[in-house]
Structures are given as structure tokens and as C-alpha cells.
Copies of this chain bind each other. A is one copy, B any other.
Amino acid sequence: MTDENVISFRIPPWVAGFLPRYVASTNIDDRMSFVIEATRRNVIEKTGGPFAAAIFERDGGKLVSLGVNLVATENLCILHAEIVAIAVAQRALGTFDLGQEGLPPHELVTSSEPCAMCFGAVPWSGVRRLVAGARDADVRKIGFDEGAKTADWRAELEKRGIETIVDVRRDMAVGVLNGYAAQGGAIYGARGTGPSG
């Protein structure tokens, strides 16, 4: 029986089997490599676009959640990888604020710099650090739109106490984006200029 008052989305079945590939690491390159491998897998499994993101405990590196882009699979434009990762983490920890007192600091590691929507969501999530792989320009180069993000987005996050680190394993992240484009992967989204994430 479906309940029309419930909106739900499903994490693809392959994700559960993929999680053990990551072993808690204090090295952000290791965390990013795991996230980028998830982008590749999301494309291979045809469960979404070439974007993934994960929430980790910032200091020890424990994995809290992995999100992949599910926009086309789930017919919801909001399901960028970052949004999925934030939602899964908040449900796992039972709070809408990953920065709440009593919790260890969390970070969001994303395969590409966040689009305007995901950038706006980062402060609400409660994470204390954002780590990104590919740049906005890399994403735009294959045809996705990052939206109207303020040019000084890193400064805006820093002002809110959120550290930012970019260009982490950028070449590897760009490799997946370019491979996706070369295979003719769908550049989905509104008005022909699809959202990324």
C-alpha cells in the first residue's frame, strides 16, 4: 500500500556492499578516493549522475553516510549527492544538526564543488568542514550548471565557521566527469542546462 502523504527515496542497493571499501582514515585523500570511486560506480550501475558525497567524522575519519546523485532515478531535483549524504547522516544520528553539542565534528566530502543549492544547505547541515574534488569549472565544462552561487562561496562558509579544502584528488574526480561525458551520459535538468551535484 502506498501512502501519498509519505515522500521517500531509496539508496541504491549496491551502496551497502560498497561501504566496506572504505577503512577509516585520517587522510582526506583516502576519503576523497572512496567518494570518487562511488561516482564511478553510480554511473556504471546507472543509478544516477557522476556525483557522490559522504559525511565523515572530521578527526577520526569514521564514515557516517554516503550519498550519490539520484535526481533522475528518483524524479526529485533536490537529490544531489550532498543532499542525500546529509539526509542519511542526519537520520542515522537522529538530528537535523550534525554540529550539535555532544557530537564529534563532521565534514562533507564531495566529488565536485557544490552547486548553489548544496552550498546553501551546507551551513544548515551542521558540518564543520567541506572538502571538494573537481571544481565548478570542471563540472560546467561537461555541460552541467552549478547555478547562481556567490563568487566568494568559500569565504561565506568560512565566515560561518566551516573550513573549506578544495582540489583534493581533482584529477581523479575530473577523470570520472570527463569519462561520463565521453560516453554520452545524460546532462539532465531544467531548461537543458542541467543541475550538477
Contact = CB atoms under 8 A, between A and B. Distances in A.
Interface of A: 3, 5-11, 13, 15-16, 71-72, 74-78, 83-84, 86-88, 90-91, 94-97, 99, 115-121, 123-126, 145, 147-150, 153, 156-157, 159-161, 188-191, 195
A120 B119 contact: yes
Given A120-B147, A123-B191, A124-B195, 10 more contacts: A5-B10, A75-B90, A76-B90, A76-B91, A78-B86, A96-B188, A115-B124, A116-B120, A123-B190, A124-B189
A87 B7 contact: yes
B78 A83 contact: yes
30 contacts: A3-B10, A5-B13, A6-B10, A7-B84, A7-B88, A7-B91, A8-B8, A8-B9, A72-B96, A74-B96, A76-B90, A76-B91, A77-B86, A77-B121, A78-B83, A78-B121, A96-B189, A97-B189, A116-B116, A117-B124, A119-B148, A120-B120, A123-B195, A124-B189, A124-B190, A125-B190, A126-B191, A148-B153, A148-B157, A149-B150
Copies in the complex: 2
For A5, A87, A123, the residue with the greatest tally of chain B CB atoms inside 10 Å of its CB is A123
A66 B97 CA distance: 25
For A74, A88, A119, A121, the residue with the greatest tally of chain B CB atoms inside 10 Å of its CB is A121
